[in-house]
Structure 1
């Protein structure tokens, strides 16, 4: 795999000309950029008239049951009357209905009644995971889809899809736009053909390993082109595409051909197919060459999809790599628990406790059929090792039953379950303490598999392709590359039965029924009132995180905590609970001062003596500041966290909203891992501050004073004078902020997106 930072031209889809080697008569880079597939789709969805500053209107929206309640509640509070475009509500995350009594099913009924009232589509639990339903029923050539799940990626089908936090969907529901600068486009030029035993997860992990740490595709669009594309089946392309999220790219798109046309035809939607290819001379801002024949079965070791090795490399350097993983875990868990992977080595081989093939990445038809071929006639054994398989949709499950694949798997001792995303985010198949799981799913972040450090638990996940998971299962849990297996893949044809959805999925066909009463469960709560940004701001640092990357799962844990997603204050109790258990209490203490200010009590008279002393120090330096009388709009008190690079992973807005409802006013970071997390902060009225790398001018529990912050935001400032309050001294330093759009300024000034739409 070769990365070219300076970009390249692609002529007629086959000839690569690198920057600096242009032929005479070739168009300029700016002109040739317009010939990428991505440019054409973005141009057709842009409403601004300016391709440098995009204002995108999407064709369709999709959400699952961790996010749709909050999205609809926010939209309702902002004046929603009808879903203006198709909006699909799936129920594939909190499907077990086992945690918190009735609250999961209450949310499902909320979704069904909202689909009826506002004119949407409702997919009941266990019918399909969100992205498989979108592939089968929503995707279309040249279309754009926005989803409130980070793995919203349908580029292999010719659909540019973006995963964002819920507030961005709220904007679309209120007929507003998705505003971004024109992203750069990275060309991924595929040649060759995967060798036998290599699957889509192997290709995806190889790409992630090459581009994540260096940010090569961060916030850019990945465009897959080249002669190697035609050597991949539709399912294979889909399996690579969904994992592009883990590169931190903005979106993805692929050239399409007769295999994608066949996919649409199989699903009864042939009219949605479009042949998409770059123009005769297309320019890509960056370029990657990938020879598919060189890729070997991969494994992403704990605790990130980019921590990749070939399986052969791992087996050859087993103890060294396991030791490195243990050291990383000790840093990530601050020494609170001990991960022991080396004990998994038996007679020189790595023994695995659990295998999972599931979700939007692993649950595809071809993955499961190939896994069954490898396992045919084998036994997974009667020891610790278990194998669970989750088809991504009921239509896939039905075809697997009809062609005998389910029987083949079950005969080995594997369990075949319904469509469910639970294993991917810690709501199902949580391993035993210190167990090691291999999974064809999307992520392997710390504790994402469901273990709880605060309870002394630790488990770990490695990501692998379904084929190598099956090979490992055939060897009763001993790690094995699929390339080591002698197997003939049968590749049974897929037949899609649309009657399953026709008989069970509620589809309003865009017709709203205002007479329908929304069904609210007792756990569904409105958002608490949030005040506007004050003139000046005092921030107390209540958590300081120096991990290289902080995931949204660490900011607000997934798993059973997500059952409380419809109760903003209830869910906030879990914020940073697995990373910094003291965060919630500290944030609440600061919030008490803000609530006193809002009730008319001067901060100089606050119950918090430390806060009162901070205000006294500020007054000494700024004697003209009047904090004695009504200071509701002049001074705010709130919390902030520092993290080196927060926001990798899930698009869940709760990573920001939980901080906000606990009184958070800002984040401070060296950089933000994803555009979507920064957008979530802004949409919840939180300031996305930046600070230069190096020794911090403050530490945990310090107070920071930012005078004139409201005026600075309104003026579009990118630098903010700040002070560390040290006794009676104010020690200056500088905070920065990337440029905000006019709407983003207004959202922050008004305190949050809900206030912005209320006017």
Structure 2
């Protein structure tokens, strides 16, 4: 089904894979792939250094690189995009750094907090701030309920050979020939200030598709099957997934989009697909045929590895809680429900070991069958025209029942909604008892359709992390989400909530031709690119607060451990919960109150107590007030041979979080900025789950330390003293010696690593944060 090849491979004519070290018969390949008289293969084509430059990704990156050096890239994007959880902070940061106008098309969508149901006026206040920013600086503003961010970008912005940067982790438009990346807000700020996105040239992994999927298999089945094989090994982490091979031509563009958007869950950097006449037609339908060009690898392209996918062998699957990689075939789950669901319950005990939750899934098994409470088809993954059309045809003239099971369907944009309404699909769904809603990302991040306590929801959305569905474990609430394709969700709905594979129901893959109604956007979206109005004022609601002042790093750091997480992976949702808490995203202080609230409810109080002492230390240094007894007591434990007075002047006190592998999932910068607002100076990790979270730490002036001690012993309230950190950063050193100070003032050494930091990244940390850095650069 899926075969991982962890070695360099050559792809010939987008058809045949050959080991890079294999003896190659060029004459045979010429006879196979090239007619007489056409350009022929020769030995130079198989030289690895040349073949590596023949990938689609290499050429797009080269066209957007300003460094002149393909080893260390400085990328300029064509377009950037944000939604209403992130754009206020981004614009506030850019404004503090001297923003005068948006130098490229910047799309501000309102699809995450569009219900305006929490916190009074604050959500709509932020929407109006976004509109005022689009007018003042020259941007595009998409009002609430018009489209989810990624569907709008597919319909209106993606184009072959382009690059797009978004402040949402699922920024993926590779199926349309666009290399897109999801990053934290500060990386978009850099683009707004005409700076660059700086990375090392990434490795390229070929995703070789062959054959054709079965009629009852959908894009989520393919995507989850790939995620299962690559996530835990990190095979594509921070690499580019390049989709190639003859199987692509068998897939519709909506199917490709559905697979592509889920590549985020592999932790890859970006994705890109071969383009063809189906992509041309998609762009033509959306009035943008001029954005089409053929994107293909060269005659011979070299890849750093291959994921070989036989589409004909993919089966309907389900990703059980609490990660998209926890994948089983639906057939396997239905054959062994007690064994598999009990294993998820055991996982939950570890995830929620500090709570009194009574999490159960085995109680969903009745008469040997699994009963589901809720089904949802929504967002950038599930809410496409094709997915909903097929679900509607499967459910036509049937009903979902009047018991616990419910079904919600969210078309991904108003143009999609319009077409589904025009061709009758919406009415077919409504007649079944399903509820059809407007474009909204809420079910993907816990701000809409939160299930009841201990309920099981099956969703064609992007994630099923703990509490991602909106429950609150600290309040004794827990429910869970399993990811499935819309086809199998429809099959389950037909059986009134009994978990059913689409294989066991008649599946209709023929969908009516789609037409795009551009009037919907023309009549409502504010298109202000290059229409700068200097006299226009930004509209600040009472919840919109500026970032607090942040100091430069001091000679030394004294860190107090505020949270220790030993889970295999820590998601950004655990660092800063999604859902209704995101309504407070424009007030750094209010949002910070939720930091780690679902993982470690005492973290905020620990961090605040440390920050209070640091504020007192700064007051001593800046205003020459008397040293408090608490400060003197803390600095007396440092046996450095230096006076307490000198240490107080040159040593900042801050909190630190330890996690084995933090930052999987969302691109939200608040996962890092909230720690900084609470006085955080660093994270310590074995590794960082994603580049975007590590970048967020750096851009908010927190040192992304790594340790090689996999069984490190750290306790809350212990101190870690890091002398000479400023000099180490200035001199480009890659490791520093630290000292852990235990409860009894016993000291043990710890080597911390700060490798792979660029010169600019070091200077950002030294400055205290990106805002400070841009004040002097």
Map of 2:365 onto structure 1: 345
CA distance in 1, matches of 2:361, 2:388: 28
Report SS of the residue matched to 1:678. helix
Per-residue deviation, 1:374: 1.0
Task: Establish whether residue 31 from structure 1 lines up as the match of residue 50 from structure 2.
Answer: yes
| CA distance in structure 1 between the aligned counterparts of 2:577 and 2:228, rounded to whole angstroms | 25
- Work out whether residues 668 and 689 of structure 1, in 8 Å CA contact, stay in contact via their aligned partners in 2: yes
Aligned partners of 2:723 and 2:285: how far apart in 1?
Answer: 61
**How do 1:342-421 and structure 2 match up within 5 A?**
342-421=362-441
Aligned twin of 1:745: 762
Deviation string 1:709-751 (CA, Å, 9 cap, x unpaired) is: 0000111111110001234443212111222111101100000
Q: Please identify, of 106-115 and 16-25, the stretch whose mean Cα deviation from structure 2 is larger.
A: 16-25
Residue 17 (structure 1) aligns with: 18
Out of 549, 554, 577, which is 1:557 matched to? 577
- The residue aligned with 1:175 is 194
What does residue 485 of structure 1 align with? 505
Q: Deviation at 1:197? A: 0.8
Q: Secondary structure at the match of 1:722?
A: strand
1:566 has 2:608 as partner: no
Structure 1 counterpart of 2:88, from 64, 69, 90: 69
Corresponding position of 2:739:
723
Tell me the alpha carbon deviations over residues 330-378 of structure 1, each in whole angstroms, 9 at most, x when there is no partner.
Answer: 1101151121101101110000000000000000000000111111111
Alpha-carbon distance in structure 2 between the residues aligned to 1:173 and 1:293: 45
CA distance in 1, matches of 2:507, 2:64: 46
Correspondence for 1:111 among 125, 130, 145: 130
**Distance (Å, rounded) in 2 between the aligned partners of 1:608 and 1:490:** 76
| Contact 1:212–1:247 (CA under 8 A) maintained in structure 2 | yes
Q: Which region of structure 1 is more displaced relative to structure 2, 73-82 or 326-335?
A: 326-335
Residue among 648, 660, 663 paired with 1:644: 660
**Equivalent residue runs for 1:23-62 within 5 Å:** 23=24, 25=43, 26-62=45-81
Say which SS state the counterpart of residue 34 (structure 1) adopts. helix
Within the alignment, does 1:230 sit opposite 2:249 as a pair?
Answer: yes
2:308 counterpart residue number = 289
Q: Deviations over 1:527-566 (max 9, x none)?
A: 0000000000100111010111100000000000000000
1:641 alignment partner, SS class:
strand
Q: Is the 8 A contact 2:557 2:722 kept in 1?
A: yes
Is it true that 1:246 corresponds to 2:262 in the alignment? no
Structure 1 stretches of 4+ moved >6 Å: 602-605
Q: Specify the alignment match of 1:329 in structure 2.
A: 348
Give the 3-state SS of the residue equivalent to 1:539 in structure 2. Answer: strand
CA contact (8 A) 1:365 1:396 kept: yes
Q: For the Cα contact (< 8 Å) 1:617–1:730, is it kept in 2?
A: no
Give the aligned CA root-mean-square deviation in angstroms.
1.4
| CA distances 1:435-469 after superposition (whole Å, capped 9, x unpaired) | 00000000000001000001000000000000000
Q: Which residue of 1 aligns with 2:32?
A: none
| Equivalent position SS for 1:214 | coil
- Is the CA contact 1:297–1:465 (under 8 Å) kept in the aligned structure 2? yes
Deviates more, 1:371-380 or 1:205-214: 371-380
Deviation per CA, 1:209-240: give whole Å up to 9, x if none.
Answer: 00000000000000000000000000000000
Q: Give the structure 1 partner of residue 208 of structure 2.
A: 189
d(CA) in 2 for partners of 1:22, 1:83: 53
Q: Once the 2 structures are TM-superposed, how far is the Cα of residue 31 of structure 1 from its aligned partner?
A: 1.4
Structure 1 position 606, deviation (Å): 5.7
Q: CA deviation at 1:162?
A: 0.4
- 1:622 aligned partner: 640
Matched, 1:8 2:28: no
Distance across 2 between alignment mates of 1:373 and 1:35: 43
Could you tell me whether the CA contact under 8 Å between 2:635 and 2:647 is conserved in 1? no
Select the residue among 420, 440, 443 that pairs with 1:423: 443
Q: Is contact 2:611–2:655 with CA below 8 Å preserved after alignment?
A: yes
- Indicate the residue corresponding to 1:463 in structure 2: 483
- The 3-state SS of whatever aligns with 1:315 is helix
Residue pair 2:620, 2:627 contacting (<8 A) in 1 also: no
- Assess if the C-alpha contact under 8 Å between 2:620 and 2:626 holds in 1: no
Question: Which one of 735, 740, 755 corresponds to residue 752 of structure 2?
Answer: 735
- Cα drift, residue 697 of structure 1: 4.3
After superposing the two structures, state which structure 1 stretch, 713-722 or 146-155, moved more.
713-722
Matched, 1:212 2:231: yes
Post-superposition Cα deviations, 1:681-718, rounded to whole Å, max 9, x if no partner, equal 00000000111143214322210000000000111111
Please tell me whether the aligned partners of residues 191 and 227 of structure 1 are also in contact (alpha carbons under 8 angstroms): yes
Query: 2:36 matched to which residue of 1?
Result: none
Task: Say if 2:445 and 2:579, in contact at 8 Å, map to a contact too.
Answer: yes
State which of 524, 540, 546 in structure 1 corresponds to 2:560: 540
**Post-superposition shift, 1:613?**
3.2
TM-score by length of 1: 0.98
Count of aligned pairs: 754
Q: What residue is the counterpart of 2:543 in the other structure?
A: 523
Q: Would you say 1:700 and 2:716 are equivalent positions?
A: yes
Conserved? CA contact 2:390–2:508, under 8 Å = no
What is the CA distance between 1:170 and its match in structure 2?
Answer: 0.1
2:645 partner SS: coil
CA distance in 1, matches of 2:189, 2:463: 27
Question: Is 1:268 the counterpart of 2:284 in the alignment?
Answer: no
Conservation of the 8 A alpha-carbon contact between 1:627 and 1:635:
no
Whether the 8 Å contact between 2:215 and 2:508 is mirrored in structure 1 is no
Partners of 1:4 and 1:286 within 8 A in 2: yes
Distance in 2 between residues matched to 1:622 and 1:15, nearest whole Å: 64
Judged with a 3 Å threshold, the aligned counterparts in structure 2 of structure 1 residues 429 and 627 are, in CA distance, closer, same or farther, namely same
- 1:622–1:295 Cα change, 3 Å: same
Judge conservation of contact 1:604–1:628 (CA < 8 Å) in 2: no
Q: Distance in 1 between matches of 2:718 and 2:117?
A: 41
Q: Partner of 1:321: helix, strand, or coil?
A: helix
Matching of residue 257 in structure 1 with residue 276 in structure 2? yes
CA contact (8 A) 1:604 1:615 kept: no
Cα deviation, residue 605, structure 1: 6.9
Mapped to 1, the partners of 2:588 and 2:775 lie a distance apart of 19
CA displacement at 1:103 relative to structure 2: 0.2
Distance 1:329 1:729, change over 3 A: closer
Aligned to 2:387, what secondary structure does the other structure show?
helix
CA distance in 2, matches of 1:592, 1:425: 33
The answer as to whether partners of 1:614 and 1:703 remain within 8 angstroms in 2 is no
TM-score by length of 2: 0.96
| 1:577 aligned onto 2:577 | no
Determine the C-alpha separation between the residues in 1 that align with 2:658 and 2:644: 27
Instruction: Please say if residues 656 and 684 of structure 1, whose CA atoms lie closer than 8 Å, have aligned partners that are also in contact.
Output: yes
Deviations along 1:624-664, one digit per CA (max 9) or x if unpaired, are x24416944x1100000110100000000000000000000
Q: Which residue of 2 aligns with 1:712?
A: 728
- Supply the distance in 2 between the matched residues of 1:513 and 1:458 (Cα, whole angstroms): 48
